[in-house]
Amino acid sequence: METSYDYLIVGAGFAGSVAAERLARVFDKRVLLVDRRPHIGGNAFDHIDAHGVLVHRYGPHIFHTNSDEVFAYLSQFTEWRPYEHRVLASVDGMLLPIPINLDTINRLYGWSLDSAALEAYFQFIAEPVAQVRTSEDVIVGRVGRELYEKFFRNYTRKQWALDPSELDASVTSRVPVRINRDDRYFTDRHQAMPLHGYTAMFERMLDHPNIEVELGVDFADVRKRAHYGALIYTGPIDEYFDHAFGRLPYRSLEFRFETHQTPRMLPAAVVNYPNDHEYTRITEYSQLTGQQHEYTTLSYEIPRADGDPYYPVPRPENAAVYARYRALADALPDVHFTGRLAAYRYYNMDQVVAQSLALCTRLTGVSRAELAAAS
C-alpha cells in the first residue's frame, strides 16, 4: 500500500527543513520533503568543490541574528564558528570599508574627522525627503548624493536592473551608515558560521525516521502520486497558481567560481564593485568558513533577469500582485505558504527560520518558545 503522509513539504531549504524537522520530531508527524534540486539546504547549500574547498553553491551565506530563540534552535544541529563579516568596496581606485563608516570617509577624502565632525558633515550634505519611500531616499537622505553615487547607485542598478528610486527603501536600508569605526557588515547579537557547514547542519535536522526526503523531484509530479493531509509550500507563490495574475519578478544571479593554488587571494571575505565590471562582488569562501587549504575558491556574482529565483524585487507594483496571490493562498485551508519565495519577502535565513517556527506554532497550537526549545 502507498505510504500516507501528514505533510507534504515542497522545498528543502530553511523554510521547508525547519517545518519538517519540528513537525516530525516534536509532533510525531510523517513528512515527505521534496526538492527539485538534487540536494537539501536550498540556497544555503554548501559543498566541497573539485579542489577540496568548502564553497556555497548559491553565493556567500553569513548567519546573523538577534533572535536567541532562532540561534538556540539551530544550535541543536550544529556547533558554530564565531565569524564577523567585513566587506570592502572598490571606489575611486581604493578598497574602502562598507557599510560607510568614519574610516571610509576619512580614507576616501584624505581627512581626519572624528565622529562628531562626520555627523555634522553628513547633516550638511544630506538631502532629506519628507517621506522616505525609495532606496534612493534612504541613502541620499542620510549621506547626500555624492556618496550615494559612489557606493550605492551603480551597484543597485547592476544588481536589480532598476534605479534605487524604483526600489522600496527596505533594499538599501539593509546596509547601515555609521559615524564610528565599526566596520562589521552586521551588528547582530549572534554572528557565526555552522562549524561543519550548512549542509551538514541540514543533514542533522532531517535525520529522523518520520522524515522522508526525495530530491530531484518537482511538486508538479509528486502532487499527482503522493497521499498527504496538508501541504507546506516554499517555492515561488506565483508558480503555485500557474502565474494566474502574471509572473512575479525574482532577480537571479550567475555564480562564476574560480580556484587558485594559494591559501589567500582577497583582502577581505567579500569585495564589492559598485562601479566597475559586470559582477557586483567577489567572495573568498575560506575567509567565511575558516578552512585552511592550499587552494582557495572565489565566486563572482553576475546579476541576471533569468535563472533560479533568488531575490523577490521589493517595489509597490510587485507587492500589489503578490497581495492577489496571497488572497488565493489564504483561501486554501490545507496549504501553507512559507519562506522567501512563497512570502515574496527579502528575508534573511534567520527570518525564514522564525517564520517556519511560527507556522508550526499555528499548525499545532503549541507556543513558539516551547516549540523552538523542544528537543
Q: Which does 172 bind (CB under 5 to 8 A by kind): ligand FAD, ligand UDP, none?
A: ligand UDP
**Among 5, 7, 9, 14, which residue sits at the site for ligand FAD (rule: CB under 6 A)?**
14
Which does residue 58 bind out of ligand FAD, ligand UDP, none, counting CB within 5 to 8 angstroms by kind?
ligand FAD
- Of the candidates 8, 25, 56, 3, the residue with the CA atom closest to the CA atom of residue 231: 8
Report the nearest approach of ligand FAD to the CB of residue 67 (Å): 12
Q: Which does 13 bind (CB under 5 to 8 A by kind): ligand UDP, ligand FAD, none?
A: ligand FAD
Query: Please, what is the minimum distance in Å from the beta carbon of residue 59 to ligand FAD?
Result: 3
What number of chain residues touch ligand UDP (CB under 6 A)? 13
Does the footprint of ligand FAD cover residue 15 (CB under 6 A)?
Answer: yes
Phi-psi region of 91 (alpha: psi -120 to 50; beta: other; left: phi over 0): beta
Q: For residue 259, what is its C-alpha cell?
A: 580556484
Per the CB < 8 A criterion, the answer to whether 48 and 235 are in contact is: no
Closest C-alpha among 29, 45, 36, 47 to residue 11: 36
Q: What is the DSSP letter of 153?
A: I
Residue with cell 534552535: 73
Residue 172 interacting with ligand UDP (CB under 6 A): yes
Shortest CA distance to 202 belongs to which of 31, 54, 374, 47?
47
Dist. CA 43–CA 297, nearest whole Å: 18
Report the amino acid identity of residue 58.
Y
163 or 308: whose CB is closer to ligand FAD?
308
Q: Is 46 in the site for ligand FAD (CB under 6 A)?
A: no
Q: How many residues bind ligand FAD (CB under 6 A)?
A: 33
> Among the candidate windows 21-29, 59-67, 144-152, 195-203, which touches ligand FAD by CB under 6 A?
59-67
Residue 151 contacts ligand UDP per CB under 6 A? yes
- State the maximum Cα–Cα separation within the chain, in Å, rounded to a whole number: 76
Q: Phi first, then psi: what are they for 43, rounded to 5°?
A: -75, -10
Per CB under 6 A, residues contacting ligand UDP are 89, 98, 151-152, 155-156, 159, 171-172, 174-175, 272, 274
Which chain residues interact with ligand FAD by CB under 6 A? 10-16, 34-37, 42-44, 58-62, 218-219, 234-235, 253, 310, 339-341, 347-350, 352
